[in-house]
Chain A
Amino acid sequence: MNKPSTARSGAPLAEDLARARATVNEIIVDKGEVIDLAFSALLAGGHLLIEDLPGVGKTTLAQALSLAVGGDWQRIQFTSDMLPADILGVSMFRREGEQFEFRPGPIFANVVLADEINRATPRTQSALLEAMAEGQVTVDGRTHELPRPFFVIATQNPLDLTGTYPLPDSQLDRFLLRTRIGYPSAAEERRLLTEPDRRNLLKDMEPSLDPNRVMELIGLAGELHVSEPVLDYIQALVAATRSHPAVKAGLSPRAALALIQTARAHALVMQQDFCLPDNVRTVFPALAGHRLQPVAESGMDGDAVAAEILESTPVP
């Protein structure tokens, strides 16, 4: 009997993915789940929001991810005086050619690290978010395609809120997953303190994948088998968010679709050739946490609601 195991087709592709995952795991130790989530977001064709304190390794993660995936990467440090053009690029008039020439902004990269996105003004934020949603940039009436794959890892500091513009709930929906990194365990922290800086490893890192192969993997994830019981499970979870008393509005059908897609991607990351309820369960908090808006008096946040729903929904 077949076991949940290696993908049916493109076995070398799956091996490359495994290698990429292993490489990132070497650099960011003890954060396997976050890394898997990041890969899942990438392979589901979505974007990732990391909400955590500075210094826990957000940037390193983004960098390692982009290096492992191959292709070019850009980092945009958001500030309050930033304009959309600083991200998207500008059309400049070239005197020689007597015409406007588009100079692409930092967003034209396969992996974009948008650091401290909440420091930018809403106008700038929305320019980024629109680009994320559309996969293209329109400047001065001309549309410029963004490279494929296009993966944004945005970070947000949840504590230092002075002088920031927190992302509105409606905009949070643009991120497929939201997660936290958290502190390393004591043992891992000791290794961090005693061993040479892991960021040096980044310099010698060989990319295991390239943009084309990532696109192939995204296609593979989209075709991954999801059986009836797993679909039942997904529907049950989504229905539970809609009837949960602490939630203003449950997950939308788009979110349900995203849940299936992310679960598939996660299954692919885990080297399975079909989707398990376990995949759904793993990605569900990251997917639903920022989409669920709890009523104020409930005293719960979206993550708590998501956890509660997972605990109380039987697996069919």
Chain B
Amino acid sequence: MNRPATHLPLGPVAWTVATFLVAALPHLLAMPPVLGVVVFALCGWRLLVARKRWRLPPGWLRLLLTIAAIGLLAVSYGGLWGRRAATGMLCLMLAAKMMELSRLRDLRMVASVSLFLIASQFLFNERLVLLVYLFGGVLLALAALLRIQQLDVNRRTAPGGDVALLRQSALLLVSALPMALALWVTFPRLAEPLWGLPDEVMDGKTGLSDSMSPGSIANLFLDDSPAFRAEFAGEPPPPSQRYWRGPVLWRFDGDTWERAFLPSRTEAPRVPPGSNDYRYTVQLEPHERRWLFALDHPVRVPQDARLSLDFQLTRRNPITTLTEYSVRSNPDFTDMPRLPVTLRQLAVSLPEDRNPRTREMALELRERFEDDRALIDHVLDWLRTEPFYYSLETAPLGRHGADEFLFDLRTGYCEYYASAFAVMMRAADIPARVVTGYQGGFWQEGGQYLLVRNSDAHAWVEVWLEGSGWTRVDPTAAVSPARIRSGAGSVAGGGEGLEWLRALRNRYDRLQHLWNSWVLGFDADRQQRMMNFFGLPNLSRTGMALLMAGVLGLIVLALAWAWLRQPARSRDPVRRAWLRLARRMQRRGLGPGLGETPLAWAERVAHRLADGARFLELARDYCAIRYGDRGNEADRQRFIRAARRFPVRRAVEPRRAASV
């Protein structure tokens, strides 16, 4: 092991540490806090070392600490596999590298790997804000690399301040954009994403679960992030009809509602002619489950989706990336005019030993009302007139959940109502099932799309009625009509004064929507369509790769041409400053002739310049420095500054009329 010959100065170390921390921050936030503390501690300690010129720890200690950190990681994640653990590992290793940051090479390595680390956040999230963050991080990383470069004695670069570094780095970033754009447009898209491991990608965020026990989606209501966006061809349905169907739950064990695994439909449902269909395209945010959401009742579904007997729309694979699909829904469709016996049995079964009070009331009602519809109306009326309240803040339910809710608690939200109502229906021998999904959404006037947030999650009931088949009944609407008309946010309370914030968020979502449509949604299909638009035939993946190579080749050629055309860059900064001044003069038509010497040029144009005498002086200084090898470094810097600041202004030409 060779000891570092020289101590790394604080400046480049600080730049590198800052780069690493910015790159690691999104990962750190998702990590167990103890790991974040380790990373921050190591970075802070390294800065102190640079500041106080301490020695770095010996090899055995570094090894020990690194092994301990990896052990901590393995314990925190229960292993070293998976995306989270892998990026966590990368963060930890880079932080451990802080302990042996002793040479230029190490600094370069950390700054370069930080670039990869920043990009790896897209494994978890593809939001627009992260792109902005990515640009910021890359800017910082490039500036850090430039700063490190200044230390390199082999490659002397002009010293510059921090602002100059950032400017230079921005220049690099901007000049890389055309290449990035070309790559992005022409890179062959895969029909399926390359990654999409269904593990803990949602960062603890719950999508809609495939089971329901009252109280389970409470945290979903507080999640304001978008669930999906829908664009309609034509008018969107009115707010009271915006029921986005998700999992349909049949089995009830007294606590939890679960799905029944019904066979899928082999053919598309038949639609009565002349019906008023809704045609729309949904951009579904990744939610790690298989289902897609559609309005009642989906009749034309995407190719790669299955429609089950109870109108659940599912995909073969979990939705791990932004997914776009088109659906046609018919609101007037009659679902199952005839109910098979097996399904009927499933839809009325209840655990025997639960909810005696509810069953008792249901039997009573059954005796009073022959007609199912009358019974349902009565129950809804009862819910409306009795003191039932809609609230997200409520108590958990015990063994006889429906009893406790209907007769004692009387405060809850959609799940409570839907579950209790379905239990009541089943007790009265009316086939009932619970449907979960989303209800409502925010209509973006500017963007012409419906934004549905996770807080719009909802649960309602479908009952089977003679003549109309499965019919939607929303007991929550009976209690709190506002929940259905204007969305969960309006009843959840709070945020009255935050109107402007909500407006801002809605505006931001429009940007996000554009980003989703044009960037994330730029899949193989769109790519093909764009190629067709430019008159290119449908290309195979190989063809696309060749096209990409071709486009990149053209860009490289163009860059090479531009590079060769520009006058050879002098290594002498004094000469470069002079040539820059010459170019500025050229723009005023006062440039030097091809074979003209600096002095001859200056003497020729001096009288046409407002500051001619100063220009002559500059030219003499230049000659003394460049041809006379006169002046020290300070003189050279002074000349460079003077040349940069020299104002190129034409002298006021004496008017000819006046002189005559």
- CB-contacts of B50-101 with A (<8 A): none
Whether a CB of chain A sits under 8 angstroms from the CB of B531 is no
Whether a CB of chain B sits under 8 angstroms from the CB of A194 is no
Residues in A whose Cβ lies below 8 Å from that of B624? 1-4, 274
A310 and B595 contacting across the interface, CB-CB below 8 Å: yes
Bound together, the chains give a CA A1 to CA B594 distance in angstroms of 28
A274-B627 contact given A1-B635, A3-B620, A4-B620, CB 8 Å threshold: yes
Bound together, the chains give a CA A274 to CA B624 distance in angstroms of 8
B626 and A229 contacting across the interface, CB-CB below 8 Å: yes
A281 and B627 contacting across the interface, CB-CB below 8 Å: no
Comparing B28-36, B333-341, B422-430, B596-604, the segment that makes contact with chain A is B596-604
A225 and B628 contacting across the interface, CB-CB below 8 Å: yes
Whether a CB of chain B sits under 8 angstroms from the CB of A181 is no
Whether a CB of chain A sits under 8 angstroms from the CB of B629 is yes
Residues in B whose Cβ lies below 8 Å from that of A229? 575, 626-627
Residues in B whose Cβ lies below 8 Å from that of A278? 597, 599-600
Whether a CB of chain B sits under 8 angstroms from the CB of A313 is yes
List 8 A-B pairs, minimum CB-CB distance, nearest first.
Answer: A274-B628, A277-B597, A2-B630, A311-B595, A278-B597, A1-B631, A227-B627, A315-B597
- Chain B: which residue is nearest A309 at the CB level? B595
Q: List 27 A-B contacts (CB under 8 A).
A: A1-B624, A1-B631, A1-B635, A2-B628, A2-B630, A3-B624, A227-B626, A227-B628, A229-B627, A273-B628, A274-B627, A274-B629, A276-B597, A276-B599, A277-B627, A278-B597, A278-B599, A278-B600, A281-B595, A310-B595, A311-B594, A311-B595, A312-B594, A313-B594, A315-B595, A315-B596, A315-B597
A2-B627 contact given A278-B597, A278-B599, A311-B594, CB 8 Å threshold: no
A1-B627 contact given A276-B599, A314-B595, CB 8 Å threshold: no
For the A-B complex with A4-B623, A273-B628, A310-B595 known, give 19 more contacts whose Cβ atoms are closer than 8 Å. Answer: A1-B624, A1-B630, A2-B631, A3-B624, A4-B624, A4-B628, A227-B627, A227-B628, A229-B626, A229-B627, A230-B627, A274-B627, A274-B630, A276-B623, A276-B627, A278-B597, A281-B597, A315-B596, A315-B598
Whether a CB of chain B sits under 8 angstroms from the CB of A275 is yes
Bound together, the chains give a CA A278 to CA B525 distance in angstroms of 67
Bound together, the chains give a CA A314 to CA B592 distance in angstroms of 10
Residues in B whose Cβ lies below 8 Å from that of A310? 595
| B52 smallest CB distance to A (angstroms) | 42
- Chain A: which residue is nearest B635 at the CB level? A1
Residues in A whose Cβ lies below 8 Å from that of B596? 315
Residues in A whose Cβ lies below 8 Å from that of B392? none
- Chain B: which residue is nearest A226 at the CB level? B627
- CB-contacts of A1-25 with B (<8 A): 1-4
Whether a CB of chain A sits under 8 angstroms from the CB of B625 is yes
- Chain B: which residue is nearest A228 at the CB level? B629
- CB-contacts of B590-639 with A (<8 A): 593-600, 620-621, 623-631, 635
Bound together, the chains give a CA A138 to CA B398 distance in angstroms of 134
Bound together, the chains give a CA A275 to CA B624 distance in angstroms of 10
Bound together, the chains give a CA A315 to CA B627 distance in angstroms of 11
- Chain A: which residue is nearest B623 at the CB level? A276
Name A's B-contacting residues (CB within 8 A).
1-4, 225, 227, 229-230, 273-278, 281, 310-315
- CB-contacts of B563-584 with A (<8 A): 575
Bound together, the chains give a CA A277 to CA B601 distance in angstroms of 12
Residues in A whose Cβ lies below 8 Å from that of B625? 1
Residues in B whose Cβ lies below 8 Å from that of A314? 594-595
Bound together, the chains give a CA A278 to CA B596 distance in angstroms of 9
Q: Could you say which of A1, A3, A229, A277 has the most chain B C-beta atoms within 10 Å of its C-beta?
A: A1
Residues in A whose Cβ lies below 8 Å from that of B599? 276, 278
| B566 smallest CB distance to A (angstroms) | 14
- Chain B: which residue is nearest A308 at the CB level? B595
Bound together, the chains give a CA A3 to CA B629 distance in angstroms of 11
B628 and A311 contacting across the interface, CB-CB below 8 Å: no
Contact of A313 among B595, B598, B628 (CB under 8 A): B595
| B623 smallest CB distance to A (angstroms) | 6
| B597 smallest CB distance to A (angstroms) | 4
Residues in B whose Cβ lies below 8 Å from that of A230? 627
Bound together, the chains give a CA A2 to CA B596 distance in angstroms of 23
- Chain A: which residue is nearest B639 at the CB level? A1
Residues in B whose Cβ lies below 8 Å from that of A225? 628-629
Q: Mark B550-568, 1 if CB is under 8 A from A, else 0.
A: 0000000000000000000
- Chain A: which residue is nearest B596 at the CB level? A315
| A233 smallest CB distance to B (angstroms) | 9
Residues in B whose Cβ lies below 8 Å from that of A1? 621, 624-625, 630-631, 635
| A195 smallest CB distance to B (angstroms) | 31
Contact of A227 among B597, B600, B621, B629 (CB under 8 A): B629
- Chain A: which residue is nearest B634 at the CB level? A1
Residues in A whose Cβ lies below 8 Å from that of B620? 3-4
| B26 smallest CB distance to A (angstroms) | 51
- Chain A: which residue is nearest B603 at the CB level? A278
Residues in A whose Cβ lies below 8 Å from that of B600? 278, 281
Residues in A whose Cβ lies below 8 Å from that of B597? 276-278, 281, 315
Bound together, the chains give a CA A225 to CA B627 distance in angstroms of 9
Residues in B whose Cβ lies below 8 Å from that of A274? 624, 627-630
Residues in B whose Cβ lies below 8 Å from that of A313? 594-595
Bound together, the chains give a CA A211 to CA B621 distance in angstroms of 36
Residues in A whose Cβ lies below 8 Å from that of B594? 311-314
A311-B593 contact given A1-B635, A4-B620, A278-B600, CB 8 Å threshold: yes
Residues in A whose Cβ lies below 8 Å from that of B593? 311
Bound together, the chains give a CA A278 to CA B627 distance in angstroms of 11
Contact of B627 among A275, A311, A312 (CB under 8 A): A275
Residues in B whose Cβ lies below 8 Å from that of A277? 597-598, 627
| B405 smallest CB distance to A (angstroms) | 91
Bound together, the chains give a CA A313 to CA B596 distance in angstroms of 9
Residues in A whose Cβ lies below 8 Å from that of B627? 227, 229-230, 274-277
Residues in B whose Cβ lies below 8 Å from that of A3? 620, 624
Residues in A whose Cβ lies below 8 Å from that of B623? 4, 276
Residues in B whose Cβ lies below 8 Å from that of A4? 620, 623-624, 628
- Chain A: which residue is nearest B638 at the CB level? A1
Bound together, the chains give a CA A141 to CA B629 distance in angstroms of 50
- Chain A: which residue is nearest B625 at the CB level? A1
Bound together, the chains give a CA A273 to CA B630 distance in angstroms of 11
Bound together, the chains give a CA A39 to CA B600 distance in angstroms of 22
